Amino acid sequence: MKADVPIPIHAFLPAFTPRDSKTNNPQNRYSDSQVYQELSSNIDSRIMSYTKEPFPDNPADLSNPTTFRNSKVIRQWVDDLFDRNGYRDRVEFNTTVELAEKVGEEWVLTLRKAIPGGDNNYWWQETFDALVVASGHYSVPNFPLLPGIIKFDKHFPGTVQHSKQFRTPEDYRGKV
């Protein structure tokens, strides 16, 4: 399999560009999250906590009596951290880094964000002293090239899916 080709970057930034929302479009390559409705962590909440910012003793997810937390509880904890400590303006969610370039002693990042509820992407650049790449090794789906899989996918469009596309068991109820 080949990596996605880069999305063309607008010549003048900041800029708005039309968003192509087709499922297999490279514009969606990193925006599709692995998080689904009933996902829970597989790590004890004490390990995920910070010393001065532990997870709540009484998690909102009472159906899960373990020390694992539902994704909604984790997301709320992260949101609360930013709000409580006044860092909301220092984080950008649902944004992709489309280009990272070292220019002199600084890093210039070209960023893209899909406008919620709209048909446009917003592009801009920001400059930083340092860059940390922490994308995780499970963030980009890998489809093994099995004999006949391409032919099968063409014959039955949408049936070959990566686990990253899983959202709810209802999508598979009554199917083999």
Please, which residues have CB within 8 angstroms of residue 159's CB and are 6 or more apart in sequence?
Answer: 152, 153
Q: Which two tokens stand for residue 14?
A: 């900041």
Has residue 12 got a pLDDT over 90?
Answer: yes
Q: Confirm whether pTM is higher than 0.85.
A: no
Q: Binning pLDDT at 50, 70 and 90, where does residue 29 land?
A: low
If 0-12 CB within 10 Å is exposed, 13-18 middle and 19+ buried, where does residue 129 land?
Answer: exposed
- pLDDT per residue over 32-56, tens digit each? 566 777 777 788 777 888 888 887 7
**Residues 123, 17: contact at Cβ < 8 Å?**
yes
Q: Which two tokens stand for residue 89?
A: 């303006």
- pLDDT per residue over 88-139, tens digit each? 888 887 788 889 999 999 999 999 988 877 788 899 999 999 999 876 666 6
Element housing 16 (H / E):
strand 15-18
Q: Which residue reads 């532990």 in tokens?
A: 54
| Distance between CA atoms of residues 45 and 67, nearest Å | 6
Q: Which two tokens stand for residue 126?
A: 């920001």
pLDDT of residue 32: 59
